[in-house]
A = this chain, B = another copy of it.
């Protein structure tokens, strides 16, 4: 009645071959490419670790790319082969045959297709090593985010994605039918993570958020993965910024440690996170820009990003103190200059990557802030409840995973860094 697991212990990965010269091994994977030379045909096999060259036996030289294979053979040194090894004398077993060809050759070093072709065919196009590498970087980044915050005493939480009122901002919400009642997809875990500061002091969540963004831009998705954190017992927003810095450092470290091959495939170096990320107050930024506006335009962000790189050698820049009227009602004002706020954005290479700040923490402050904006406290009742029961000074931030990976890899469009992006036009695959 008790059976041992049947995972084949004989299978080795392509990346393990250089250490197994002379051994008889079993590989499994996809036929990435056939390379027919004058006297021999090579099968290049792709598995999760990389590529391996196999000397094709008779009869296997006309298999189509993406055939799923198991190959048994001898690991043989060959200085001309990738990694200096190839599999010789192989037996090839076909595990599955493709019934259609991919929309483009998956073995070309660059991706020879437009973005819609890539996205429409995601179940197969993501097999392209360059496209897959983007998502390996994302996976490593999330690991690093969690590891950094775990090390700082944070607790992971899982909050509702369906809420009864569109509280974060009235616009851009998706409505749904919840057993006959109108409900909404959560635009952020904001209120939940704040309430959970009252329970765990320091919390994070890595999950989907939803914005019914009607504009089809290169930097917006209707669903994205938000890396959210919130912490209590802060002095002000600068304590939150210190945690942002730690999270970024953890993400970069994890990408280098766990996705080094993916970085090499993409040809990118992870950025250095300065021990102190430079920061600039919004008022000072406006002065430098010779502008007088309540928010930063994308062109402003690009200029400031270039300035931080030039003056501080930093790809990251905190802009602090955004005007209160452009920040959500729960934002804590700047002591002594209440038209400004204890908030910040982090620009990464001139693009907003993180938004955060100190929040109000007293119940009466919330009631006053809502009254100033002419909003009723009614829809916020559940939210406000945490503050009625004693909340410490706190703050937090949110980082968009797809933007992070896109910026890191030099991808212009965040649709490249979501596996199956969702936007105003795209609901499949």
Contact = CB atoms under 8 A, between A and B. Distances in A.
A403 to B, nearest CB: 13
A407 interface: no
A427 B161 CA distance: 10
A126 B223 contact: no
A249 to B, nearest CB: 13
B102 A179 contact: no
Contacts of A199: 126-127, 132, 135
A66 interface: yes
A11 to B, nearest CB: 7
A142 interface: yes
Interface string A268-296: 00000000111110000000000000000
B177 A175 contact: yes
Contact of A242 (B5, B183, B225, B418): B5
A171 interface: no
A185 interface: yes
B126 A196 contact: yes
Given A7-B235, A28-B392, A278 B2 contact: yes
A104 interface: no
Interface string A203-225: 00001101010100000001101
Interface in A381-418: 382-383, 385-386, 388-393, 401, 418
Nearest to A138: B158
A302 interface: no
Contact of A393 (B95, B126, B136, B214): B95
A122 to B, nearest CB: 8
Report which residue of A100, A121, A155, A181 has the largest number of chain B beta carbons within 10 angstroms of its beta carbon: A155
A7 B202 CA distance: 13
Contacts of A8: 233, 235
Contact of A388 (B4, B100, B201): B100
A236 interface: yes
> Which among A102, A208, A225, A361 has the highest number of chain B CB atoms within 10 Å?
A208
Nearest to A208: B161
A99 interface: yes
Given A96-B362, A156-B143, A242-B7, A48 B201 contact: yes
Contacts of A214: 179
A239 B123 contact: no
B427 A183 contact: yes
Contacts of A164: 427-428
A421 to B, nearest CB: 8
A234 to B, nearest CB: 7
Contacts of A388: 98-100, 124
Given A161-B223, A179-B222, 16 more contacts: A6-B238, A7-B235, A11-B233, A48-B153, A48-B201, A70-B233, A96-B391, A99-B389, A123-B386, A127-B389, A132-B200, A158-B401, A162-B185, A164-B427, A196-B419, A385-B429
